[in-house]
Amino acid sequence: MITHAMLLLALVTPGAPGDRLGDAVTVDHVFGHLKALQAIADAHGGNRAAGLPGYDASAAYVASKLRDAGYTVELQPFAFDFYRELAPALVRGSHAYKDARTMHFSGSGDVTARPQRAGLGCTASDFTGFVPGRIALADRGTCTFEEKAKAATAAGAKALVVIDPKETFDGSAGHPQHLPVVAVGPDTGEELGGLRRLRVMTRTESEQRITHNVIAQTPGEGRVFMVGSHLDSRQEGPGINDNGSGSAAVLEVALRTARLHPRRPVRFAWWGGEELGLLGSQHYVASLTPAERKQIRFYVNLDMIASPNYKFQIYDGDNSDGLGGGPFPKGSAGVERTLQRYFVGHGLPYAGKAFDGRSDYGPFIAAGIPAGGLSTGAEQLKTEDEAETFGGVAGEPLDGCYHQACDSLGNVDRKALEVNSAALANFVSHYAWPKS
């Protein structure tokens, strides 16, 4: 017996590979990768940050899935400045001073010595008469903390205390230092110079480490286009929306694309060290020869695609929304239009997002490579208008767990994840299986 449903099925032509990609990429599979990334964070101290085992395990997970799907995987190494504080600073004279803070990139150490003032601590002349082995006290200002740390090291100081007479503050010594560098505010600064003995203790890890980008490409003729996302989290948390979400969608699309044998080559990338300043994508773009750069048609970036209070955003590649940023390499407008097609076709709202280079497409557009991408938002508050358009809560951040420990599986909006994963599959189909 021929049913109505069977007749209808017979009328549907078998899907082209490009259409099949959209069907194959399901939110359940994408969510499965997120669960795996959460489990990796849980097993490695709660984060997946560059230079720590949670990142390396994330990269190994992505690489092994890719290999299973037939890819040859490149793990592109690069060095970066790693830093983390293991315990709060201790500065103790007659008592422990409460306003002491470890400076970023401070060395680790426990020093007890006589403190000695060194003015601003910027130059060798500030350290004239400084007795090596003592703790240098320098006033905040005039030069960078890094310059103060270098001058103090050169003068033989065993630790450096930078004093601000007005406020408690945080600072960065620029790059990994060997000596402890701490900041103190007005409560402490006054007393220190008169002390005969001072103890300064910091517990940090401050050194160069190696991390990796994960890169894989399908076979195929002609120029390549790239799809990427950063795989690292902050040290504060597991980074499941930021950016497990983008990484999981790119991974699932990559796995399915390989099985459908695209006509045009697609290169997928998972960047390391984004949270430390786009380090992985910067390294990658800088490592390309001019000829290799020309071979890249464009780059599409996914960063945070499942924000709990989401709005669908597509990077404004031609400044048509007047949001600023740039540069706007020619071709970025086309990427934007193609990404928009999925939303238009499904009656979904979307907004432009400033092309400000605040994620891994930044180094690409800086090198003249067209780019675009998707993001559902970070710490920005949702406006009344946006709540009307996208739903969600006005006056609340788009992602209230941005860069925090609570950016876990529970911080993921499944609908946003589904829509953006499908939009990416649709986009890849369009270019990997061109109609003409």
Partner residues linked to 85 by β-bridges: 204
| Distance between CA atoms of residues 259 and 253, nearest Å | 10
Report the residue number, 303 or 386, with the smaller CB distance to Zn ion: 303
Q: Give least dist CB 105 to Zn ion, A.
A: 22
Verify binding: residue 243, Zn ion, rule CB under 5 A: yes
Torsion angle defined by CA atoms of residues 39, 27, 257 and 318, in that order, rounded to the nearest 10 degrees: -100
Report the residue number, 81 or 242, with the smaller CB distance to Zn ion: 242
The residue with tokens 């007393």 is: 191
| Distance between CA atoms of residues 384 and 394, nearest Å | 5
Report the residue number, 303 or 413, with the smaller CB distance to Zn ion: 303
* Alpha-carbon distances of 81 from 78, 108, 205, 241, rounded to whole Å: 10, 15, 10, 25
Catalytic site positions: 274
Report the residue number, 38 or 243, with the smaller CB distance to Zn ion: 243
**Contact region with Zn ion (CB under 5 A), list: 11-19, 131-139, 160-168, 240-248:** 240-248
Report the residue number, 226 or 231, with the smaller CB distance to Zn ion: 231
| Distance between CA atoms of residues 184 and 100, nearest Å | 5
Q: Give least dist CB 13 to Zn ion, A.
A: 40
Q: Give least dist CB 338 to Zn ion, A.
A: 23
The SS3 call for residue 120 is: coil
Q: Give least dist CB 378 to Zn ion, A.
A: 7
Q: Are strands 135-139 and 115-117 parallel, antiparallel or unpaired?
A: parallel
Report DSSP state, residue 93: S
Q: How far apart are the first and last CA of the chain?
A: 40
**Contact region with Zn ion (CB under 5 A), list: 43-51, 52-60, 236-244, 292-300:** 236-244
DSSP 2-65: --HHHHHHHHSPPPPHHHHHHHH--HHHHHHHHHHHHHHHHHTTT--BTTSHHHHHHHHHHHHH
Q: Give least dist CB 272 to Zn ion, A.
A: 12
Report the residue number, 108 or 375, with the smaller CB distance to Zn ion: 375
| Distance between CA atoms of residues 151 and 120, nearest Å | 10
Verify binding: residue 177, Zn ion, rule CB under 5 A: no
Binding mask 196-235 for Zn ion (x = CB under 5 A): ----------------------------------------
Q: Give least dist CB 285 to Zn ion, A.
A: 17
Q: Give least dist CB 242 to Zn ion, A.
A: 4
| Distance between CA atoms of residues 191 and 199, nearest Å | 13
- List, edge to edge, every strand of the sheet that includes 181-184: 101-102, 181-184, 159-163, 135-139, 115-117
The residue with tokens 């994408």 is: 30
Verify binding: residue 407, Zn ion, rule CB under 5 A: no
Report the residue number, 361 or 431, with the smaller CB distance to Zn ion: 361
**Contact region with Zn ion (CB under 5 A), list: 11-19, 30-38, 241-249, 384-392:** 241-249
- What residues numbered 278-337 form the site for Zn ion, per CB under 5 A? 303
Pick one of 81, 85, 242, 399: the residue that binds Zn ion (CB under 5 A).
242
- Asked if 281 contacts 362 with a C-beta cutoff of 8 angstroms, the reply is yes
- Asked if 135 contacts 158 with a C-beta cutoff of 8 angstroms, the reply is yes
In the complex, which residues of this chain contact Zn ion (CB under 5 A)?
Answer: 242-243, 303
